[in-house]
Amino acid sequence: MHSTPFSPAEARAARARVGLGTAEVARAMAACGVPVHPGLVTAWEQGAQVPSEPQLFALADVLWCAPTTLMGVEPRTLAEHRLARGLSVERVAYRIGMDPGAYRAAETARRWDGDLRQTRALVDALGLSLRKLVGIMGRDEELAEHLRAALEGRWKTRVAPVAEIVVVNETLVGDALRTMHAEFAAFSERYMGHLVARNDDARLREVAAERSAYLHRLVDHFWDLIGDVGEESPFGPAGH
């Protein structure tokens, strides 16, 4: 289970900005349906305790700030992005059409296995993109490995595993991999052409540098080809 990120210093600063005492904060939180004792507010600000998720959301409302201000970190995990939007596990699960237990397990395991429709709903709910979601799940390097293998071998065998990682339909993934395979093959053809023609080393180094730059931004280029994930097209008109 993840621990709710919380910054005592930011909480103290936020309370100072609105000019409330700890007792006033506690009363206001109770009015929001989250009763707490003033001593607990003090314990949060001293770092002795950490608020629960409902307490974090209510405290942010009372102090007129975003949850991310009190978290004190830029969201890095799926759970933190949810907290940043002020959403409970149950609320997100309802919005994406997933069992709350299954969604919580995805956060805990930091692995996303939702289908196309659930994924589209998730990125919309959390204000993310597919690319961001893949990065949050720690699968960028896995994606890059498949892309490199697609360039250097039989790209069709990589369509299914890439589609599974990025949660995009296989037709779009196949189009992107076919394009990238052809682009990469062109580097080899140019290089061999210069070599057979016995061109100078500068031309060979130029082609090699272009090839290296292409490989360096392989994942970026893949997402460029897939398109803007905020549009309907990456998922198809019917989401499959």
- As assigned by CATH, the class of the 78-128 domain is mainly alpha
Please answer whether residues 62 and 23 qualify as being in contact, where contact means their C-beta atoms are separated by less than 8 angstroms: no
Q: What is the pLDDT of residue 107?
A: 93
Where along the chain do its domains lie?
Answer: 8-71, 78-128, 140-235
Indicate if the pLDDT at residue 115 is higher than 80: yes
Q: Of the given ranges (81-85, 131-135, 233-237), which has the lowest mean pLDDT?
A: 233-237
Report residue 45 as tokens.
């600000």
Indicate if the pLDDT at residue 232 is higher than 70: no
| pLDDT tens figures, 144-200 | 999 999 998 899 999 999 999 999 889 999 999 999 999 988 877 776 655 545 556
Q: What is the pLDDT of residue 233?
A: 33
Q: Which of 70, 72, 68 is nearest to 82 (CA)?
A: 68
**From the CA atom positions of the chain, what is the Rg in Å?**
24
Give residue 234's region: left, alpha or beta (phi > 0; psi -120 to 50): alpha
- As assigned by CATH, the class of the 8-71 domain is mainly alpha
| pLDDT tens figures, 2-15 | 578 999 999 999 99
d(Cα 212, Cα 153) in Å, to the nearest integer? 17
Topology alike, domains 8-71 and 78-128? yes
Prediction pTM value? 0.79
| pLDDT tens figures, 48-65 | 999 999 999 999 999 999
d(Cα 240, Cα 225) in Å, to the nearest integer? 18
